[in-house]
Amino acid sequence: MDVHEYQAKELLSQFGVVVPKGAVAFSPDQAVYAATELGGSFWAVKAQVHAGARGKAGGIKLCKTYHEVRDAAADLLGKNLVTNQTGPEGKPVQRVYVELAEPFEQEFYLGFVLDRKAERIRVIASKEGGMEIEEIADENPDAIIQVIVEPAVGLQSFQAREIAFDLGLNIKQVQRATQLIMNAYRAFRDCDAMMLEINPLVVTKDDRVVALDAKMSFDDNALFRRSNVADMHDPSQEDPREAKAQEHNLNYIGLDGEIGCIVNGAGLAMATMDMIKHAGGNPANFLDVGGGASPERIATALKLVLSDENVKAILVNIFAGINRCDWVAKGVVQACETVDIKVPLVVRLAGTNVEEGQKILADSGLDLITADTLAEAAQKAVEACGASPELEAASA
């Protein structure tokens, strides 16, 4: 789960990480009020979306007057911000963050990431702040400073000091940077984060070390014990279908193909998508209905898949282990009676009581396309939606 910049800074500040003063606003008037409350004479108005590269996309505006603050907020709120991380559709801006914009002398990159290969937390830093870490890795890989954290002891102060010295800071700055790095690590660890990025980390004229921007992502599986983080969830930043799927405990990821998939089990879902590609089609989604393929879950899954206008056919692929194929077949039939399906529906069942399940489908009177194997089901789904290269060539 991702959070907004102002939420990440709120969490970081609770662990002692120094961040600029700021306030969130949902309207231009609130933005002006926030600026007056913050004081000063120079502010940054930042669009709050779950994406980076906002500055290049016009999502961060520097303002010197209250009128400029109002105009900046009015220009951002209610719009879709398109960056190189959002795709062409962009992300909706429903709130802005008004922050005191104080001058700084140096900017750096600081990040914490859960390295699955090393099974450790990896701390990454660079003197080249303000740039995407991917750009730094491509253009100047030697500029990247990396430290692996031993989980038995955690990040040590000497490691944080080494990072600070490698960044070229002076003695006073090193002391403050060391404390910030240690506090940021504790925030990462204690909040069950998977990624924390402070870009840029800046040094001001009076040698303060400040997290000017912050981005955090968290482990969904740990949210049950991090209610303060779970409450920061913003559904507006997600695909509406994925948000709807979460409400019903369905695992759904939207893709750009034309064959909708309803499968039980993540591994089988991946195999189903592979077979669709092998047959010449493109999957429209990844959807794992889990172990209980009840009529209600199948109906919900069908509605989710059909909400994608690009779907031209649906492939239901269920392997019944603990479940039974006859029970799953009844669920499919009942779901079809409650959902208006206007595209071809291919159903493949395998496992316990498969003969009974196939008989239920055959006797249902529904216009279903059945298959015995996954390869056959994928081929029939491709042919049903006209995505087969052979059919396209013949029709041409």
Q: Does residue 288 carry a pLDDT above 70?
A: yes
Q: Is 274 labelled as part of a ligand binding site?
A: no
Q: Note if 89 is an active site residue.
A: no
pLDDT at 160: 95
pLDDT at 322 (0 to 100)? 67
The pLDDT of residue 387 is above 50: no
Average pLDDT over residues 239-257: 76
Q: Answer with the one of 237, 265, 297 that is the final residue of a domain.
A: 237
Residue 139: Cβ within 10 Å count: 10
Q: Does the annotation mark 109 as catalytic? A: yes
Annotated binding-site residue? 107: yes
Known binding residue 46? Answer is yes
The confidence score (pLDDT) of residue 389 equals 45
The single residue of 109, 252, 258, 383 carrying the catalytic annotation is 109
Examine the domain organization and report whether 118 and 84 are in the same domain. no
Q: Any idea which of 230-234, 296-300, 390-394 has the lowest mean pLDDT? A: 390-394
Burial of 386 (0-12, 13-18, 19+ CB in 10 A): middle
Instruction: Name the residue with higher pLDDT: 61 or 301.
Output: 61
pLDDT at 294: 65
pLDDT at 163 over 90: yes
Say what the pLDDT of residue 340 is.
Answer: 81
Task: Give the whole-angstrom CA distance, residue 244 versus residue 93.
Answer: 20
Is 10 annotated in some ligand binding site? no
Are 149 and 48 found together in one domain? Answer: no
pLDDT digit string, tens, across residues 339-385: 888 889 999 988 888 888 888 888 888 888 989 899 999 999 999 88
281 and 205 in a single domain? The answer is no
DSSP structure class, residue 150: P
- The answer to whether residues 38 and 72 belong to one domain is yes
Q: What is the pLDDT of residues 312-329, one digit of tens each?
A: 999 999 887 766 788 888
CATH number of the domain encompassing residue 320: 3.40.50.261
Alpha carbon distance 108, 203 (integer Å): 8
293 plus 341 within the same structural domain = yes
Alpha-carbon dihedral of residues 65, 70, 75, 79, nearest 10 degrees? 140
The rounded distance, in Å, linking the Cα atoms of 64 and 68 is 7
User: Of residues 239 and 148, which shows the higher confidence score?
Assistant: 148
Is 80 a known ligand-binding residue? no
Amino acid letter for position 248: H
**Are the CB atoms for 169 and 139 separated by under 8 Å?**
no
pLDDT in tens, 91-145: 889 999 999 998 899 999 999 999 989 899 999 999 887 677 777 777 778 788 9
Place of tokens 């290269």: 389
* Partners of residue 107 on adjacent β-strands: 202
How big is the CA angle at 23 (ends 21 and 26), to the nearest 5 degrees?
160
Residues 246 and 358 in one domain: yes
The residue among 80, 101, 122 that closes a domain is: 101
Which residue's entry shows tokens 């991090």? Answer: 226
Indicate whether 4 and 137 sit together in one domain: yes
Q: How many angstroms separate the CA atoms of 331 and 297, rounded?
A: 8
Annotated catalytic residue: which of 5, 185, 197, 383? 197
Was 102 annotated as part of a binding site?
yes
CA atoms of 213 and 308, how far apart (whole Å): 35
- Structural Rg of the chain based on CA atoms: 26
CA distance 60 to 54: 6
Specify whether 337 is located in the same domain as 221.
no
* pLDDT exceeds cutoff 70 at 173: yes
Strand 106-115 and strand 193-203: the pairing is antiparallel
State the residue range of the domain holding 78.
Answer: 21-101
Is 119 marked within a binding site? no
For tokens 């990431």, name the residue: 113
d(CA 242, CA 286): 10
Domain-ending residue, one of 101, 128, 147:
101
337 CB-near residues (< 8 Å, 6+ apart): none
| Size of the chain in residues | 396
Rounded distance, CA 209 to CA 184, Å?
12
Q: Which residue has the tokens 């719009």?
A: 79
The pLDDT value given to residue 321: 73
pLDDT in tens, 33-79: 999 999 988 999 999 998 888 888 889 999 999 999 999 999 999 99
